[in-house]
């Protein structure tokens, strides 16, 4: 609740994902001014809201988190600790202006012939008349195209057109160059006095999510097509890179994302229990050619949809869509992580065939369906050209989330669920596998970091070791997959190594087998695989393929091998041959 010491309350805030612009001019005085920020307990506020509006079902963390618009992983997850941080996590600053650019929308539209139209819309902070100069520049700063914009009542727009081949296209890594242009806007009053300026970097690309019938199999494809080329997406899921977000420097973001490119990956999924990442994250993805799958920040829960909650959701969605929509790397926006799965598992009121726009989902015990199917798509479609997907996983076409023939799939029947042998990945495929994984210990140096000087705790089942693995039943599950595949020892060096080899073989096998399902146009039976997960938020044993200190595990390298342009693999099938003349015929 920010309040200047000058004695005037500016606002009471309630959403970590929203930037607040507060008028302070009339409260300022000559000399020193103080701004006082007070932070009540978000945990206690969540408990109060839960008592007033009801308790929802969830996986991971305290149920009160569902009412608080903050990073949900702070309440603890099956890979992270409970650390409810508080305080300003982004800069606070004073801005002075007469008229400012309140909104700049740059919409790049590329048709099938690859001709380009760049639509630019400007909204000023007040309804004044003005003029603007629009310039499209290349990487060297050379002006390629210009346009003059007349602004009336604070609004103005213009379009820049280019023939196919006139501008270079932006491509995902491995398919071409990541060419970026700058759209520069200078606004002046009618007398020519500068008022404000703003620039955005854009990429020119045509991106579609194709959901077409397939040859010889039930269901539809779920694939990404860029500049008329269909892309197999091999990549990772991303969680916040630290339990304390202000620890993450720009260089650290770049190092993480460069690791993905160096590992032959081309897509990253920003998971819905974390944060809408800062601009440096998406800027780097643009530069490196990493496609971004973006979730809204809802994860593993039965979220509410009362009026005040919806207002908070609407504000955060509009702000973040406007902030991110110009990035060429941003390929898809999903409404949540696994909330439909929670609804299915809890047998909530969920009829996938109910597409009636008049249905009031807020009156059901799955009220957040109103958010995912009404609120989010209306805002995203109004303010951007981003493809919206209701959730992850989500099948569509009236199918449940575990359907393997439509939409995207979280395949957790290795490790979780039925705990299948990892050799069965080919039988567990989906049209687009947006989560799957296997645990493995981190680098032995990372293990020794958390053990510290207490050498008595340096064995697999010690209290310290167990405290650095947050997954339910991890002891039995690790041992199940180890015993099925290895004759292993229990000294810590050996145990760490065998879990790493197991993780490496498990994940490599998945990529190898699922890439076999990418068989040409009309036969893209599996169009992508995103491993859970690339990173950790603290030193821990988890599903990550690179540990908290950016030390790759062997799985990182085995995945890199399988995501080369060409890889060789085979699978074992049980075949019974019948020979009437052989005595052992069965």
Q: Work out the pLDDT band at 254, boundaries 50, 70, 90.
A: very high
Residue 42, CA atoms < 13 Å, CB-side half-sphere: 22
Helices 279-288 and 250-262: crossing angle, nearest 10°? 30
Span 462-474, average pLDDT: 92
**Which CATH code, of 2.60.40.10, 1.10.760.10, 3.40.50.2020, 1.10.132.20, is assigned to 101-203?**
2.60.40.10
Alpha-carbon span 530 to 432, nearest angstrom? 9
Residue 585: pLDDT over 50: no
C-alpha gyration radius of the chain: 26
Q: Work out the pLDDT band at 4, boundaries 50, 70, 90.
A: very low
Tokens for 222? 């779920």
**Structure pTM?**
0.94
pLDDT over 70 percentage in the chain: 97
Domain 207-563 CATH superfamily: Glycosidases (3.20.20.80)
For residue range 372-416, what is the model confidence (pLDDT) as tens digits?
A: 999 999 999 999 999 999 999 999 999 999 999 999 999 999 999
Nearest to 295 by CA among 312, 320, 264, 326: 320
Q: Return the active site residues.
A: 338
For residue range 135-160, what is the model confidence (pLDDT) as tens digits?
A: 999 999 999 999 999 999 999 999 99
Alpha-carbon span 388 to 294, nearest angstrom? 10
What's the pLDDT at 576? 52
What's the pLDDT at 570? 77
What's the pLDDT at 574? 66
What's the pLDDT at 581? 61
Give residue limits of the domains in the chain: 101-203, 207-563
Quote the strand ranges of 14-129, DSSP E: 35-37, 75-77, 80-82, 101-110, 116-124
Residue 579: pLDDT over 60: no
């Amino acid at each position: 609740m920010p309040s200047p010491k000058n004695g005037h309350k500016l606002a009471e805030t309630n959403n970590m994902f929203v930037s607040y612009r507060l008028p302070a001019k009339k409260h300022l005085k000559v000399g020193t001014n103080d701004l006082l920020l007070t932070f009540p307990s978000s945990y206690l506020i969540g408990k109060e809201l839960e008592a007033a509006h009801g308790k929802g079902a969830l996986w991971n963390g305290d149920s009160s988190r569902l009412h608080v618009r903050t990073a949900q992983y702070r309440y603890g997850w099956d890979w992270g600790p409970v650390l409810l941080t508080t305080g300003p996590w982004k800069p606070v600053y004073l801005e002075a202006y007469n008229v400012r650019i309140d909104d700049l929308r740059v919409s790049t539209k590329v048709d099938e012939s690859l001709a380009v139209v760049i639509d630019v819309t400007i909204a000023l902070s007040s309804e004044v008349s003005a003029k603007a100069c629009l310039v499209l520049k290349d990487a060297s700063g050379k002006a390629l195209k210009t346009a003059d914009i007349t602004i009336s009542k604070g609004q103005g727009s213009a379009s820049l057109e280019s023939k196919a081949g006139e501008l270079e296209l932006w491509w995902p890594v491995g398919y071409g160059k990541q060419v970026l242009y700058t759209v520069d806007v200078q606004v002046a009053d009618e007398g020519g006095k500068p008022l404000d300026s703003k620039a955005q970097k854009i990429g020119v690309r045509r991106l579609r999510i194709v959901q077409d019938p397939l040859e010889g199999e039930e269901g539809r494809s779920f694939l990404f097509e860029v500049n008329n080329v269909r892309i197999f997406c091999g990549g990772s899921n991303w969680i916040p890179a630290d339990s304390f977000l202000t620890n993450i420097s720009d260089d650290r973001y770049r190092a993480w994302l460069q690791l993905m490119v160096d590992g032959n990956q081309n897509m990253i999924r920003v998971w819905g229990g974390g944060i809408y990442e800062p601009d440096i994250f998406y800027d780097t993805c643009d530069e490196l050619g990493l496609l971004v799958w973006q979730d809204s920040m809802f994860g593993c829960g039965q979220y509410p949809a009362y009026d005040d909650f919806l207002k908070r959701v609407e504000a955060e969605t509009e702000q973040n869509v406007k902030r991110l929509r110009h990035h060429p790397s941003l390929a898809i926006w999903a409404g949540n992580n696994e909330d439909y799965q929670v609804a299915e598992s809890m047998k909530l009121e969920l009829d996938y065939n109910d597409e009636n726009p008049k249905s009031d989902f807020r009156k059901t015990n799955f009220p957040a369906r109103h958010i995912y199917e009404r609120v989010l798509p209306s805002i995203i479609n109004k303010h951007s050209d981003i493809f919206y997907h209701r959730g992850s996983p989500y099948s569509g076409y009236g199918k449940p989330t575990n359907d393997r023939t439509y939409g995207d799939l979280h395949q957790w029947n290795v490790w979780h669920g039925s705990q299948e042998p990892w050799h069965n990945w080919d039988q567990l495929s989906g049209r687009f596998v947006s989560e799957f994984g296997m645990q493995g210990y981190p680098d032995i140096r990372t293990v020794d970091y958390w053990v510290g000087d207490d050498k008595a705790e340096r064995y697999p089942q010690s209290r310290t070791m167990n405290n650095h693995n947050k997954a339910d039943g991890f002891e039995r599950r690790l041992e199940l997959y180890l015993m099925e595949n290895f004759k292993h020892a229990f000294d810590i060096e050996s145990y760490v190594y065998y879990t790493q080899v197991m993780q490496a073989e498990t994940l490599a096998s998945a990529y190898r087998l699922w890439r076999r399902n990418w068989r040409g146009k009309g036969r893209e039976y599996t169009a992508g695989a995103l491993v859970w997960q690339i990173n950790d938020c603290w030193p821990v044993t988890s599903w990550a393929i690179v540990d908290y200190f950016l030390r790759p595990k062997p799985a990182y390298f085995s995945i890199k091998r399988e995501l080369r342009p060409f890889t060789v693999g085979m699978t074992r099938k049980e075949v019974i041959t019948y020979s009437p003349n052989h005595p052992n015929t069965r």
